[in-house]
Structure 1
Amino acid sequence: MELDLGGIAKGYIADEVEKVFKENGVTTAIIDLGGNILLEGDSPKGGDWKVGIQDPFSPRNTILGKLPARNKSIVTSGIYERYLEVDGKKYHHLFDPKTGYPFDNDIAGVTIISTKSITGDGLSSAAFSKGITEGLKFIESHQGVEAIFVSKEKKSVYHFRLKRKI
């Protein structure tokens, strides 16, 4: 038997780091664990932090837009950073347990905005597994959670809860 907590480990760690910070009087911080960002308090510039949402079809640090947030976790799961290419075909790291192969759906990336990072970790993987249509329905059933879905066709970016495209 093997127990793999990879799907929620970074979220759990980010939440634990936040607890340590709070216990030690830290009121403003960014905890960045690569794909998992936890924002505490106001930006040093005042007000919300501005977090870039990675464009999954462009080089690192090319963003689709900036997401204003504070006291939130922002977690992204996508097909564009961790993958293996064999004979010109890319195999990303998000596996369908039914087939043993990467999920094959319409999502290039999904970002979850929530209060706890461990929640974002679990929900980003779960929403990714469902594709955009079912993923949106899934996120809609969770209170206090927002999601940004980026399709493989590069045609749509949906920000659920704000009811608008970004």
Structure 2
Amino acid sequence: MVAAYRAGPAWIGLVLFALLALAGCEQPPQAHRFEGPIFGTGYHVTVYGDFNERQLKSIDDGIESALHRVDRLMSTYKSDSELSRFNAAPVGKPFELSAATARVIEEAIEIGDLSNGAFDVTIGSAVNLWGFGPKMRPDKVPSDAEVAQALRKVDYQALKLEGNRLTKTKPVYVDLSGIAKGFGVDQVAARLDALGVTSYLVEVGGEIRTRGTKPNGQPWRIAVEKPVSRERSVQRVLELEDVAVATSGDYRNYYEEDGRRYSHTIDPRTGRPITHHLASVTVVAELCSTADALATALEVLGPKKGMALAEREDIAAYFIVKTDKGFKTEVSDAFHTYLADEPSEGEKQ
């Protein structure tokens, strides 16, 4: 009995010591990952936090709900989507849009104005002609006459938005693929914010938005991919916190005909795939929809005019340009703050 009595306080002391030690060394929040298919590509979401099963289910449901809603509204692959119904609607008749689609159209028109038409969401007829939309790749390269015919239907200024009512003043086919994916990322971010998640990374088909930092207080480190189709390798690393990033490039989605390469990036001013040497553009912005659309606009404009627009409008942009000796990089002044390491040779200082 005496021995047991003496051992008790010692055991209690050890437990108290262990509890105090645990209190002083709290475990970092766990990483929870969610993924799945969407928009013909995939999404990957990482969140940090101490969540129970019910909370994790709400996060998972929120992510899927946000993305599938955007798909139902803005897909050109679904004949019953809101966008497809607008495209099928008659000229001159106002079409009532959801607030979400109206918001995307409004920003698309603004960036169309900003880029003098280098970004144009009525590019759909030309995109389809070249086989990069719902229609399959053409049996042959489109003729000049076919391009001219498609180009007559490209004019974002034919879209008149009043509140949520959109009217087309002539036959146009709206394709939101240059901005809707980024908007989907923003919608997921908004849902996570509403659920109280304070540390996350949302990625849909390469478009990304981050919130907060990782548990160690470090920013999210995002790789800019080297613009080559034969491999996946890192060109540079960015450090991001509470921003979005999107990349537009000609090195993944293309086809070749008679030894010539045709990029999925169509110039709305010519109705043809771009032919200049700008391989990819990465843009950092507050919203992913903005970054997505601006990256497309700069990619269409090319290295010189694109950089001129980026500097004039204080756009954080990273250009990778093809040269006879490989690739060179150019960085707008606003982009330097996001670089995680020293600029490489050939990068604008």
TM-score exceeds 0.5: yes
Structure 1 residues 34 and 60: CA distance shift in structure 2, 3 A: farther
Identify the residue that residue 284 of structure 2 maps to in structure 1.
113
Cα deviation, residue 105, structure 1: 1.4
Q: What pairs with 1:83-122 in structure 2 (closer than 5 Å)?
A: 83-122=254-293
Higher helix share: 2
Identify the residue that residue 227 of structure 2 maps to in structure 1.
56
Structure-2 separation of matches of 1:28 and 1:91: 40
Q: What pairs with 1:46-85 in structure 2 (closer than 5 Å)?
A: 46-57=217-228, 59-85=230-256
Q: Which runs of 5+ in 1 are unaligned?
A: none
Whether the 8 Å CA contact 1:56–1:108 is kept in 2: the answer is yes
- Helix, strand or coil for the counterpart of 2:295? helix
Identical amino acids, percent of aligned pairs: 30
Cα deviation, residue 29, structure 1: 1.0
Query: Which fold has the larger relative contact order, with Cα–Cα distance below 8 Å and residues 6 or more apart in sequence?
Result: 1
Q: How many correspondences in the alignment?
A: 165
Identify the residue that residue 134 of structure 1 maps to in structure 2.
305
- Helix, strand or coil for the counterpart of 1:3? coil
Structure 1 residues 59 and 26: CA distance shift in structure 2, 3 A: farther
Query: RMSD across aligned C-alpha pairs, in angstroms?
Result: 1.8
Cα deviation, residue 122, structure 1: 1.2
Q: Which moved more, 1:97-106 or 1:17-26?
A: 97-106
Q: TM-score, with normalisation over the residues of structure 2?
A: 0.45
- Once the two structures are superposed, residues 80-136 of structure 1 have per-residue CA deviations (whole angstroms, 9 ceiling, x without a partner) of 011112233221110012322111112000000111101101111111111111111
- Once the two structures are superposed, residues 20-46 of structure 1 have per-residue CA deviations (whole angstroms, 9 ceiling, x without a partner) of 000000111111111211111102443
- Helix, strand or coil for the counterpart of 1:152? strand
Whether the 8 Å CA contact 1:39–1:71 is kept in 2: the answer is yes
Q: Report the structure number with the largest CA radius of gyration.
A: 2
* Aligned equivalent of 1:123, options 269, 285, 294: 294
Identify the residue that residue 329 of structure 2 maps to in structure 1.
157
Q: TM-score, with normalisation over the residues of structure 1?
A: 0.91
Cα deviation, residue 60, structure 1: 4.2
Cα deviation, residue 49, structure 1: 0.9
Structure 1 residues 62 and 3: CA distance shift in structure 2, 3 A: same
Identify the residue that residue 15 of structure 1 maps to in structure 2.
186
Structure-2 separation of matches of 1:121 and 1:96: 16
